[in-house]
Amino acid sequence: MSAGISLFTSYYGARRRLPDHAKWVSISLDGGRVAKFEGRVYRKLAPTPAILHHWHEHHDIGNYKREFAKVLAKLDPHAVAAELGDGTVLMCYERAKRAHMAEERPRDEMPYERAQDFCHRHIVAEWFRAAGISCEEIA
C-alpha cells in the first residue's frame, strides 16, 4: 500500500533553510500556530493534550514514549503514509532545552529545537521505519 513512499521529518525553525515545500505537514497538536505555520495539519500523529501536559510537568521521556506508542498503535503506518503521500515533510517543534521554559520571553519568541533534540517526530519516524517505510530527518 505504501511501497515507494518516502517521508521526511523536520522542525519549524528549519523552514528558512529548506526549499519552499508544498508538502510540509504539521504533526503538532497546535498545528504549528505558535511557529506561524500555514499549511496542512495532520493531528493523527500529534501527541494528546494529556501527553503534552505530563511532558511539560515532568519531562519524563519514558512516559512520553509509552503513552505516544498507544496513539500510534491505533494507526496503520502504511495507511497513514499513503494518506500523507510521497515526499511529505512532517513538521513539529519543541523548545531547545528545558531551561528555556524559565526564560521570560513570549512563547512565540522561544528558540526551536535542534534536529537531534527530543521530539515526537523522531518516534513517528522510527514507527514508519519499523514498518518498512522510509522516513528521514532533513534540516
Express each pLDDT in 20-37 by its tens digit: 777 899 999 999 988 888
Q: Name every residue whose Cβ is closer than 8 Å to that of residue 55 and which is 6 or more positions away in sequence.
A: 47, 63, 64
* All three cell numbers of 122: 523522531
Three-state SS string across the chain, please? CCCCCEEEEEEHHHCCCCCCCCCEEECCCCCCCCCCCCCEECHHHCCCHHHHHHHHHHCCHHHHHHHHHHHHHCCCHHHHHHHHCCCCEEEECCECCHHHHHCCCCHHHCCECCCCCCCHHHHHHHHHHHCCCEEEECC
pTM of the model: 0.82
Q: Which of 33, 17, 6 is nearest to 90 (CA)?
A: 6
- All structural domains of the chain with their residue ranges: 6-137
Express each pLDDT in 55-103 by its tens digit: 888 888 899 999 999 999 999 999 999 999 999 999 997 543 333 444 4
Q: What's the whole-number mean pLDDT along residues 7-24?
A: 82
Pairing, β 6-11 against β 134-137 = parallel
